[in-house]
Amino acid sequence: MVNKKILFGFSIFLVLAVVVSFGAGILTGRSTVEPKTIFGVLNPEEGKPNEVDFSLFWDAWAKLQENFVDKSAFDYQEMLYGAISGMTKSLGDPYTIFLSPEEAKQFTEDVNGTFEGIGAEIGIRKGELLIIAPLEGAPAQKAGLRAGDKILKIDDTITSDLTVDEAVNLIRGPKGTEVTLTIFRENSDHPEEIKIKRAAIEVPSLKWELKENNIAYLKLYQFSGNAQYDFRDAVFEIIKSPAKKLILDLRDNTGGYLEVSNDIASWFLEKGQVVVIEDFGNGKQEKYYSRGYAVLSDFPTVVLTNQGTASAAEILAGALRDNRNIKLIGETSFGKGSVQELKDLKDGSYLKITVAKWLTPKGTVLTDKGLEPDIKVEMTNEDYDNNRDPQLDKAIEIIKGL
């Protein structure tokens, strides 16, 4: 059973169960199922059972079969998937989605850090499709895509009505093929078309190097399954080095597994300190605590963030600031403060369901707000064009004084 908490993003399982149980009738062709009224679906606002008249669904199903001009277009399995997708989409949460078996396979590959495409995390904020972050060394980064770029078109398809997953399916593809994104960048005068050649993507966990003789600069790219072990190895290398201070770079880190974020926070925090609060609503909360490795608890540290810092990366940044007053330098983070659980279905498809929201240890809400930096430093177009990094320069300046 798949049940992992993902930080990338129902009380309707009774309805879903009924839809699936009617699968045999759906697959036989014209519907002869007698209209039914389904009882016991709870309205969470009123707290009492509502009646859902499913005869409307079957009436629409039958009329499509009777009247649609192209009978060869009927694929009953895809129609069932479409119905479930529409049900999840109606909730208005871009992170609660249905994944067909093929999409579920692609999602698993993405989380494990290997896939073919352009290598960029995308999302929807305030109804707009945008680049959350290009991945390190991937075609998207090499082509010049940046966190915060709004995607207006994918080849000839306008993105205004696309879900994230529909956009992903259009963008990704076999290595060696090309896709053209029309993007609009803040402070630009006009949209720009960027042609990108797809490639096999393998995302690294992290890298670190020594700066200014005694400052360890650690860039954490993602919270994949291997990241916690790679981070542990890096910590032991750092403490054996001349490093006495640490810059943790979480820019363009779009998240991953909650468990990995909690594990990495434990290298900075004492045992029992709160890393994050999971808020299920209705007054129910669960706290996640540091495991207390604490090897870096005495290291003077600053954290770099930008618009591409999302989800599990925001949790780590918030935990370090709330518990140790560690300064955040750069730009406001993305604001992806919800957690999704994967629920597997009988044919290999998944439901990815938002089950809770995250709060920092001091109760700061992340959703749609993000974390404001303590020291704001923006990157200009000229900085990108000339390979300058004023955010890192400021971090080095600040850490020298600690």
CA distance 258 to 205: 15
Percent of the chain with pLDDT over 90: 59
Q: Tell me whether residue 254 is in a domain.
A: yes
Say whether 290 is catalytic.
no
Domain count, the chain: 3
Tell me, yes or no, whether 136 lies in a domain. yes
Instruction: Give the bridge partners for 194, in sequence order.
Output: 181
Instruction: Decide if 90 is inside a domain.
Output: yes
Q: Which of 202, 228, 246 is the last residue of a domain?
A: 202
What would the mean pLDDT of 233-243 be, rounded to a whole number?
A: 97
- Look up residue 16 and give its amino acid: L
Domain boundary among 38, 72, 101: 101
- Which range has the top average pLDDT, 1-10, 81-90, 282-291, 313-322? 313-322
Options 205, 261, 322, 349, the catalytic residue: 322
Per-residue pLDDT, averaged over 369-390, amounts to 92
Mean pLDDT of the chain: 85
Asked whether residue 18 is assigned to any structural domain, the reply reads: yes
Q: Both 210 and 194 in a single domain?
A: no
Is residue 156 in some structural domain?
A: yes
Average pLDDT over residues 250-263: 92
Distance in angstroms between the alpha carbons of the first and the last residue of the chain: 48
Does 41 or 224 have the greater pLDDT score?
224
Together in a domain, 278 and 383: yes
Question: Of 14-18, 53-57, 210-214, 276-280, where does mean pLDDT reach its minimum?
Answer: 14-18
If asked whether residues 50 and 165 sit together in one domain, one would say no
pLDDT digits (tens, 9 = 90+) for 109-135: 666 656 789 999 898 887 889 998 898
Residue 108 placed within a domain: no
Helices 258-265 and 227-240: crossing angle, nearest 10°? 20
Structural contact between residues 19 and 28, judged by C-beta atoms closer than 8 angstroms: no
Residues 132 and 91 placed together within one structural domain of the fold: no
Q: Domain check: are 240 and 372 in the same one?
A: yes
Residue tagged active-site, from 219, 245, 327, 336: 336
- Looking at the structure, tell me whether residues 238 and 361 fall in a common domain: yes
For residue 1, give both structure tokens. 């059973």
Q: Are residue 260 and residue 382 in the same domain, yes or no?
A: yes
Domain range for 83: 5-101
For residue 396, the model assigns a pLDDT of 98
Q: Which of 101, 123, 156 is the last residue of a domain?
A: 101
Length of the chain: 402
- Cβ-count burial of 341 within 10 angstroms (0-12 exposed, 13-18 middle, 19+ buried)? middle
Residue 349 resides in a domain: no
184/47 same-domain check: no
Angle, helix 13-21 to helix 76-89, in steps of 10 degrees: 170
Q: Are residues 238 and 366 in the same domain?
A: yes
CB neighbours of residue 171 within 10 Å: 20
Active-site residue 400, yes or no? Answer: no
pLDDT at residue 102 greater than cutoff 60: yes
CATH of the domain at 293: 3.90.226.10
**53 and 76 share one domain:** yes
Bridge partner list, 370: none
Active site includes 311? yes
Task: Mark whether 193 and 210 lie in a shared domain.
Answer: no
Which residue is it, tokens 């291997």? 226
Among the options 261, 311, 333, 349, which is catalytic?
A: 311
Please tell me whether residues 317 and 227 are part of one structural domain.
yes
Checking if the pLDDT of 16 tops 50, the result is: no
